[in-house]
Amino acid sequence: MTTATLSKPTKTLERLTQTYIPPVARTALASVFLISGLTKLGQYAGTQGYMESVGVPGELLPIVIALEILAPLAIIIGWQTRIAAVLLAGFAGLSALMFHFDFSDQIQTIMFLKNISIAGGLGLLAAFGAGTFALDNRKG
């Protein structure tokens, strides 16, 4: 069905969702990373110890924190959205494989699937862009 054949209420709903859902969805996708990054700042030693307990060098924590704070902020404001989305999707996928790959533990399985689902949403953001109310849409 093309837009031309849609009823007026359907066209209105389509216009409203295409206008207002993108910034809300960007914020929802990015918020889990932003909150996680800010939390890691306050729990630095504990996070570093956990990383090292699964074989990840604790020296990578500053990079993780920077990624988890800066990339979500870029996504929320819609700046360099596709790049930030690809970076976070890769991070979510790697985190799933490195930290949540114990399928004998139901919580870890859920965390694994959550990360993969978020990576999928970020993949859509990378493919289709920021949408409305985004700095990426500036002219000039």
Tens digit of each residue's pLDDT (9 = 90 or more) over 84-101? 999 999 999 999 999 999
pLDDT per position as a tens digit, 41-97: 999 999 999 999 999 999 999 999 999 999 999 999 999 999 999 999 999 999 999
In sequence order, the 6+-apart residues with CB closer than 8 A to the CB of 115 are 92, 93, 95, 96, 100
Q: What is the pTM of this model?
A: 0.90
